[in-house]
């Protein structure tokens, strides 16, 4: 996750209204955060995507600044993982230097209302000012469901706002309510009762509430997702489709990126020629042209290929297929001694091993978590892609062949990771893998805005991180090339020619 959200309006964080978005994984919480704050945040369809505290600022039409905190997804306030503990600590005001939020907005999936209302019940027990964002109301309507939001609001005693955060439908009503809200935060926040006897009481209240406000057809209509899942989650067709998709990804990296790489190379060449024509001959021109421009150009030329890789990953996440891929890979993961939960961190390691290792915090078993951390670096991250491209391009000029070779190199990394995990779980961490339970969200048409944001944040463009690294490396290049500052490039070339002529003549050996 990007940490740019930590630099939001400091005044709104200290003195203005603070709201926290809580909700189950896949309820659309982070999508609502993006809609409210207009900031870029990672949007995914699998549990645990929001593993850090992310904050932004909502600017209302009247100009009021409201600080918004996007909490990690949690099914309840009984902390079983670090992410759930973070959510509980923020709501209870136990985070050092950060008071509890003024308002908690619980984002609930309208198509799975019964499951989502358990968290609503627990937040109500805390006695904090709250509202319910009844998200994905469009999906509930396509399933023939009808939810009486005014009756629901009256029964639970908090405002309820039906909405579709992806399209913005109904979000304005929530913003207007927040704009005029003046909540009073209790001096002491009460935690939900940990007594197991309280669980049946909560479910009885949820059943009574749904009986009053939710109406659904007697026979659940078959959705488009059901028909697609019959193929993509099939025992045979599912893995075949997944493998075909991966082959398509790596072939596309070569076929689609080649014209874009040519344009980038031409642009870098024109920039270098323009700088060389403006600067006088000497060490400074060598530094700028052959150091900075050429150095940055060597990175930028691979951006199209890396961007295409992240476009496919973002489309898989935003469409809902990523969860199906984890479901399909669960059998292979179990064969290596891991659970299906390990697939998401390992897949994230294809982008970068660091966020992949961070994502292992969603794995409940400590031994499974450590085993996944140890094998994550075997995955070929995006930093290795330029090396693969250079090597395969030199030996396999045909794009189709080169794409298959790169795909085989990725498969080799996967095989090494699986083999290592098998040995680790059989030798170091002997234990049975944890049961794998994952919600399969409905298939949705990917939102272009989310895909673009994901690619923009993950692709290593030389906009912020490159210059601080590029300048020192450029100076190192100058020193290594024998072109110290102040000496002209012509003098360096003459000296190089002199040394080359000495090499051609060979060393003079004394006679006798």
pLDDT at 450: 74
Q: What is the 3-state secondary structure (H, E, C) of 1-38?
A: CCCHHHHCCHHHHHCCEEEEEEECCCCCHHHHHHHHHC
Calculate the dihedral angle through the C-alpha atoms of 99, 457, 446, 66, rounding to the nearest 10 degrees.
Answer: 30
Nearest-angstrom CA–CA distance, 406 and 252: 11
Model confidence at 490: pLDDT above 50:
no
Q: Percent of the chain at pLDDT above 90?
A: 14
Longest CA–CA separation in the chain, Å: 111
Beta bridge partners of 131: 105
Q: What is the pTM of this model?
A: 0.67
Domain ranges of the chain: 4-215, 237-430
What is the CATH code for 4-215? 3.40.50.300
What residues contact residue 202 under an 8 Å CB cut-off, 6+ apart? 118, 121, 122
81 — pLDDT class (breaks 50, 70, 90):
low
Q: What is the pLDDT of residue 186?
A: 65
Residue pLDDT, tens place only, 38-63? 764 443 333 343 445 677 889 888 88
CA distance 495 to 483: 11
Stretch 399-427: mean pLDDT: 83
Determine which of 145-154, 264-273, 362-371, 399-408 has the lowest per-residue pLDDT on average.
362-371
Beta bridge mates, 130: 104
Two tokens at 241?
A: 């489709």
State the pLDDT at residue 137. Answer: 92
Residues 6+ apart with CB under 8 A from 415: none
Q: What is the mean pLDDT of the chain?
A: 76
- In this predicted model, what pLDDT tens digit does every residue of 181-219 receive, in sequence order? 877 766 667 777 777 888 889 999 999 999 999 998 877
Task: Write out pLDDT tens, residues 333-375.
Answer: 777 777 767 776 787 677 667 666 766 766 666 777 788 888 8
């Amino acid at each position: 996750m990007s940490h740019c959200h930590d630099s939001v309006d400091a005044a709104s964080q200290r003195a203005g209204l603070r709201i926290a978005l809580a909700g189950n994984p896949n309820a659309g919480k982070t999508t609502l955060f993006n809609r409210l704050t207009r900031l870029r945040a990672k949007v995914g369809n699998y549990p645990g995507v929001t593993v850090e505290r992310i904050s932004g600022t909502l600017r209302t039409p009247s100009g009021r600044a409201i600080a918004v905190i996007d909490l990690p997804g949690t099914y309840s306030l009984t902390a079983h993982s670090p992410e759930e503990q973070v959510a509980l600590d923020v709501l209870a005001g136990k985070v050092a230097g950060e008071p509890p939020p003024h308002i908690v907005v619980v984002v609930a999936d309208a198509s799975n209302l019964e499951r989502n209302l358990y968290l609503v019940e627990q937040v109500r027990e805390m006695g904090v000012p709250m509202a319910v964002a009844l998200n994905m109301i469009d999906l509930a309507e396509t399933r023939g469901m009808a939810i009486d939001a005014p009756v629901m609001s009256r029964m639970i005693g908090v405002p309820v706002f039906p909405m579709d955060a992806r399209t913005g439908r109904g979000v304005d009503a929530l913003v207007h309510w927040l704009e005029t809200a003046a909540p009073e935060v209790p001096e002491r926040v009460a935690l939900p009762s940990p007594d197991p006897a309280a669980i049946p009481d909560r479910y009885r209240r949820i059943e009574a509430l749904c009986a009053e406000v939710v109406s659904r057809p007697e026979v659940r209509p078959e959705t488009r997702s059901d028909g697609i899942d019959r193929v993509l989650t099939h025992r045979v067709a599912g893995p075949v489709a997944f493998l075909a998709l991966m082959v398509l990804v790596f072939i596309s990296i070569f076929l689609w990126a080649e014209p874009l790489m040519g344009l980038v190379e031409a642009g870098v060449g024109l920039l270098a020629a323009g700088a060389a024509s403006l600067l006088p001959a000497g060490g400074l021109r060598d530094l700028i042209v052959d150091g900075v421009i050429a150095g940055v150009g060597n990175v930028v030329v691979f951006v199209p290929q890396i961007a295409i890789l992240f476009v496919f990953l973002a489309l898989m996440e935003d469409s809902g297929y990523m969860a199906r891929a984890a479901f399909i890979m669960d059998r292979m993961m179990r064969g290596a001694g891991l659970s299906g939960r390990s697939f998401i961190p390992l897949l994230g390691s294809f982008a970068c091993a660091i966020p992949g290792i961070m994502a292992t915090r969603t794995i409940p078993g400590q031994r499974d978590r450590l085993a996944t951390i140890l094998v994550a670096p075997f995955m070929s991250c995006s930093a290795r892609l330029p090396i693969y491209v250079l090597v395969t391009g030199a030996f396999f000029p045909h794009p189709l062949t080169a794409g298959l070779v790169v795909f085989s190199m990725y498969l080799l990394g996967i095989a090494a990771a699986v083999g290592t995990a098998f040995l680790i779980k059989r030798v170091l961490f002997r234990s049975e893998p944890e049961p794998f339970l994952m919600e399969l969200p409905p298939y949705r048409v990917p939102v272009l805005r989310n895909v673009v944001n994901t690619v923009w944040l993950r692709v290593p463009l030389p906009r912020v991180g490159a210059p601080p690294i590029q300048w020192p490396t450029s100076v190192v290049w100058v020193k290594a090339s024998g072109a110290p500052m102040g000496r002209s490039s012509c003098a360096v070339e003459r000296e190089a020619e002199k040394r080359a002529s000495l090499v051609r003549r060979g060393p003079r050996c004394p006679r006798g």
